[in-house]
Amino acid sequence: MDRTFQPVTYYNTFGPHEPAFRIESGDTLHTKTLCAQGIDEHDVQVADRGNPLSGPVFVKGAEPGDTLQVDVLSARPNRPEGWTRTVVASHVVNPGYVKELPEDEYARWRMNEADNTASLLEPATALGQSTLPLDPMLGCLGVAPARHQAISTATSAEHGGNMDYRAIRAGATLYFPVFEPGALLFTGDGHAVQGDGEIVGTGIEISMDVSLRVTLIKGKEIGWPRGEDAQWIFALGNARPLDQALQLATTEMIHWLTTDYGLDPRAASILLGQCVRYDIGNVFDPAYTVACKVAKDVLP
């Protein structure tokens, strides 16, 4: 069933908040998200800054130990301008280069619906009015964390969260472990475009129209977020330092290959040793995100 959810209250944490909307497994959820500054499609600030979330959405029948499947059907910018920061984070360059970085400021970008691009309006730089193809994605997607925690939208963990992974776009399917009754699904922090790592601390931040199909998988327990698209399956690890995020993602992928694809740990290791690919999600926020990927055409 198609369900339309118009958020009124927004949260800056993934947590066990009072459900704002209730759906059944298999429903398609149509909703809107704010940009990271809390600005809506009418260019009005309606929530506090810091990735305000739409939700939580209660999925009937979801219990701890289940898995929530979220198909991203569409995610589209719904206002004419977005914004970014303009200087890379100091921790992604050599320490000796930090003093050469300019002072940070904001850039404005115009959405060009006719040709599906975004154009740089300001500041004036050697790029001129650089134009980029739109590649909309959801920076924040996840469920309420374990142990009744409320975790800031600035970071990520087993529940998902602010992962800023570019593959969380239309056509992707995400899987989240359920920790609270109803799962309590949240989304927000839409980006019209973003580079790997979100190394300036933003993508092109903008409000969005979002459609998600939500399906409950009863009795299936996973440890960390997983996902797939037409070409890849991927497991997501969220932690700091970066090597721990990679370890978590790789371990989750081995669990996936051994439970769902009939491999034992040796076979999984042989496959990963020659076929694994790694993507970097967020490396700006407190927890970094690494995706461990395997192409579907090499799976047994």
Give the per-residue pLDDT at 47: 98
pLDDT band at 146, cuts 50/70/90?
very high
Domain shared by 146 and 292, yes or no: no
> Has residue 123 been placed in a domain?
no
Give the per-residue pLDDT at 196: 98
pLDDT band at 289, cuts 50/70/90?
very high
Domain shared by 142 and 284, yes or no: no
Q: In what order do the strands lie in the sheet with 117-122?
A: 81-85, 106-112, 117-122, 131-133
Domain shared by 139 and 275, yes or no: no
Give the per-residue pLDDT at 48: 96
- Tell me the mean pLDDT in the region 266-285: 97
Give the per-residue pLDDT at 139: 98
Q: How many CB atoms lie within 10 A of CB 16?
A: 18
Give the per-residue pLDDT at 262: 96
Give the per-residue pLDDT at 53: 98
Q: Are 149 and 15 in contact, with CB atoms under 8 Å apart?
A: yes
Main-chain dihedrals φ then ψ at residue 229, nearest 5 degrees: -140, -165
pLDDT band at 182, cuts 50/70/90?
very high
Residue that is written with structure tokens 């081995």 in the block: 254
Task: Quote the CA–CA distance of 270 and 53 in Å, as a whole number.
Answer: 40
Count CA atoms closer than 13 A to 220's CA, side-chain side. 16
Q: Are 121 and 96 in contact, with CB atoms under 8 Å apart?
A: no
Indicate the angle between helix axes 265-275 and 242-260, nearest 10 degrees: 120
Give the per-residue pLDDT at 14: 98
Give the per-residue pLDDT at 189: 98
Domain shared by 139 and 207, yes or no: yes
Give the per-residue pLDDT at 94: 97
Give the per-residue pLDDT at 141: 98
Domain shared by 140 and 171, yes or no: yes
- Using one digit for the tens of pLDDT, what is the confidence trace for 65-78? 999 999 999 999 99
Domain shared by 178 and 208, yes or no: yes
Give the per-residue pLDDT at 147: 97
pLDDT band at 192, cuts 50/70/90?
very high
- Tell me the mean pLDDT in the region 254-265: 98
Q: Which two tokens stand for residue 174?
A: 């995400």
Give the per-residue pLDDT at 230: 97
Tell me, what CATH number does 143's domain have?
2.60.120.580
Domain shared by 23 and 154, yes or no: yes
Q: Which residues on neighbouring strands pair with residue 216, listed in sequence order?
A: 68
Q: What is the mean pLDDT of the chain?
A: 97
- Tell me the mean pLDDT in the region 156-160: 98
Percentage of the chain with pLDDT > 70?
100
> Has residue 101 been placed in a domain?
no
Give the per-residue pLDDT at 248: 98
Give the per-residue pLDDT at 76: 98
Tell me, what CATH number does 289's domain have?
3.10.28.20
Domain shared by 179 and 232, yes or no: no
Give me the number of domains the chain comprises: 2
- pTM: predicted TM-score of the whole model, two decimal places: 0.97
Domain limits for position 256: 226-298
Domain shared by 60 and 42, yes or no: yes
